[in-house]
Structure 1
Amino acid sequence: MSVVHVTLYQGSLSPDAPFFASRSRKPVLAYVTNMAIRLEQGLSLSTGWEMQPPAAPVDFDKLRAGKDSRWTQRSRLTVGSDLMRDFVRASQQFHYYYPSEPGRRGQEDVWLRFASGENFTDAAIPLVADALPYVIEAWRPREDEKQTPFRTTDMWWYPTLSFSLDVKKALPGEGSEWLFMRCFTRSIKNGRLDLQSVILDQHGELVALANHVNLAMPASRNTRKRKTVDNKL
């Protein structure tokens, strides 16, 4: 087992200064614990856990052809979609299939597959786990309803403040075409929401659990022109 410290730098690097004395900012810090899941040995017990309430049944052949009446392919980026997709580029990598009958606000089920047709591998699990911070979109009032501060036409951005992931099992060596994810939030308050994601494989076995803290911010914070500050060293 090994632990890797990862720092993501963004901005200009001074060719005349040491790397860590550069003018870059550090928007992401991470600690990654690595181990070979397929080589793990140890105590295993059956907990009897099941997804409650269970997800709607699915027929993958029909779903692939868009003919499973219980699931509908759609995007979550329905407001200002062209602009949103321009900076939420990860959303373009997936096909999303949601239940045709909407559930309660604060919880969403979705089947995902790569838009490219590739299979999901272990390396893709973190991307999947962070692919759906849009549970809050269910609170948008319809055009015929009384508008709230979360108005129908406003665009919002949900950057990840913190994110933890526990991978429970390895995917097959050849990968998996489909992954299921249930996301739910317990509290949305003062521009911050918690989010938990449960990821299953197409056989219904638990693959990973993720916990997030996200901010809810106007999309203009991510689309307006950036100011450049030249900090002299």
Structure 2
Amino acid sequence: MTDPAHSSTFENAIAVTPVNANTYSAHLDPAWCIGLVPHGGYTASVLYRTAVTHFARKAAAASNKGGKPVLPQEPIALQITFQRRTFAGPAVLTVQEIKRGARVSTIHVTLSQARDEAAASTKSPDDNKDLEVKVLAYITLSPPEAEEGPAVRGPWDLSPAAAPGSLAGGGIDFKVLAETGRDGEWEIGPVAAPTLHAAKHLRAYGPAATLKPKTVTERAMQMVEQLSQFAPGGRVARWTNEAVMYLVDIFPAALDRMGAMEATRVLRATGTRTETGSDEKVAPAAGLVQFWYPTVTMNIDLKSRLPAAGVEWLHSRVVTRMVRGSRADLEVLILDQEGELVATSTQVALVVDPARNVKGRTAKGSGKL
């Protein structure tokens, strides 16, 4: 059997199993966690797969009844709210059909788990009592066949332009970049820290200038972009629509930038640095102060479906406009090698103590953000 384009490793991690007409089970994989908490983009991939599976079953059921053919539908937009911390282990996904249409459908999906890891370990796999909702999502779907045809583009382009590669006109030699880790101004980024399990499935490359040590102010102001290969379990695979969900929430350099912005806010609030930052010392890219960044909300708009065979490279640009009260905004653009827009995402994240993601949750803790 041929492995899917995004690898059998990722396929197993996002697998969902039908329980009844509107309920599915999944197992959130510890290899896709940040600390002890499943990564938000990985969780979005599980939600995406749930939606695809649900509508594929509906289409198959209609076909078996001999009625009017129903086209399978795939997500075109997701609005996700992370209510409570999830954990690696069993999860139940419940689908409520808000609207089923021939052109556009909408479902509401809840991801539920036991209140804490200890409670989950004592429950039977079939016992769905006393679960609490961890993640809520509204997912809009449309049949891929309904969106065939040429795209009409507005007067938009990346501004400023992406960092150049070694080819004529600033093009990137992706073969050289993959083999040597460097091409033009691009080079491979640092290895993920041991507790950042989810980040180990990504090979991220950035402009060399953004990977060098900088002052806090320079890091807070830098533009963040990355070229990425998908590498589940450390082996290069290909980006698929499900894997794009993971990518919209994985950007190491952007987290460093948010950390620098929060460090600036904290230092100014405590009066320990000047407004100009002239008294700053050079700090490594890992960050002057260590923080963590739990996602509160995530909106994803899928502009172009990737081919079934997937693609090897995707380009991300990430902008954070303000950190206020330890709450940050993120805008993410995902493009393919030809500069075609694949997805956009807007997110709200908190900047918090990193201990939050490396401590287990007990029944006494609320688990809320």
> What's the TM-score, normalizing by structure 1?
0.80
Q: Among all aligned residue pairs of Structure 1 and Structure 2, give the percentage whose two residues are the same amino acid.
A: 32
Paired position in structure 2 for 1:174 = 309
Paired position in structure 2 for 1:111 = 227
* Change over 3 Å in CA distance of 1:122–1:27 after alignment to 2: same
Is 1:71 matched up with 2:186?
A: yes
Aligned partner of 1:164 among 272, 285, 299: 299
* Change over 3 Å in CA distance of 1:171–1:209 after alignment to 2: same
**Higher RCO (C-alpha under 8 Å, 6+ residues apart):** 2
Is 1:188 matched up with 2:295?
A: no
* Change over 3 Å in CA distance of 1:147–1:48 after alignment to 2: closer
Q: How many Å apart are 1:32 and its aligned residue? A: 1.0
Greater fraction helix = 2
Q: How many Å apart are 1:145 and its aligned residue? A: 3.6
Provide the C-alpha distance between the structure 1 equivalents of 2:330 and 2:191, rounded to a whole number of angstroms.
16
Provide the C-alpha distance between the structure 1 equivalents of 2:107 and 2:288, rounded to a whole number of angstroms.
42
Is 1:126 matched up with 2:245?
A: yes
Amino acid aligned to 1:109: E
Q: How many Å apart are 1:118 and its aligned residue? A: 1.2
Paired position in structure 1 for 2:173 = 59
Helix, strand or coil at the partner of 2:194: helix
Paired position in structure 2 for 1:223 = 358
Aligned partner of 1:9 among 101, 108, 112: 112
Q: How many Å apart are 1:123 and its aligned residue? A: 1.6
Paired position in structure 2 for 1:32 = 139
Helix, strand or coil at the partner of 1:204: coil
Moved more, 190-199 or 46-55: 46-55
Gaps of 5+ in 1: none
Is 1:201 matched up with 2:317?
A: no
Paired position in structure 1 for 2:201 = 93
* Change over 3 Å in CA distance of 1:180–1:18 after alignment to 2: same
Provide the C-alpha distance between the structure 2 equivalents of 1:43 and 1:114, rounded to a whole number of angstroms.
28
Amino acid aligned to 1:70: E
Moved more, 123-132 or 219-228: 219-228
Provide the C-alpha distance between the structure 2 equivalents of 1:133 and 1:152, rounded to a whole number of angstroms.
11
User: Which deviations, in whole Å up to 9, do the C-alpha atoms of 1:119-149 show, x marking residues without a partner?
Assistant: 11112111111112752413268xx94599x
* Change over 3 Å in CA distance of 1:125–1:133 after alignment to 2: same
User: Which deviations, in whole Å up to 9, do the C-alpha atoms of 1:42-84 show, x marking residues without a partner?
Assistant: 895331211100101321011101131411111485xxx223x
Helix, strand or coil at the partner of 1:62: helix
User: Contact (CA 8 Å) 2:256, 2:287: kept in 1 or not?
Assistant: no
* Change over 3 Å in CA distance of 1:165–1:154 after alignment to 2: same
Aligned partner of 1:82 among 187, 194, 200: 194
**Greater radius of gyration (CA):** 2
**How many pairs does the alignment contain?**
216
User: Contact (CA 8 Å) 1:106, 1:185: kept in 2 or not?
Assistant: no
Q: How many Å apart are 1:166 and its aligned residue? A: 0.5
User: Contact (CA 8 Å) 1:37, 1:169: kept in 2 or not?
Assistant: no
Provide the C-alpha distance between the structure 1 equivalents of 2:252 and 2:205, rounded to a whole number of angstroms.
15
Gaps of 5+ in 2: 1-103, 165-171, 211-217, 265-278
Alignment RMSD:
3.0
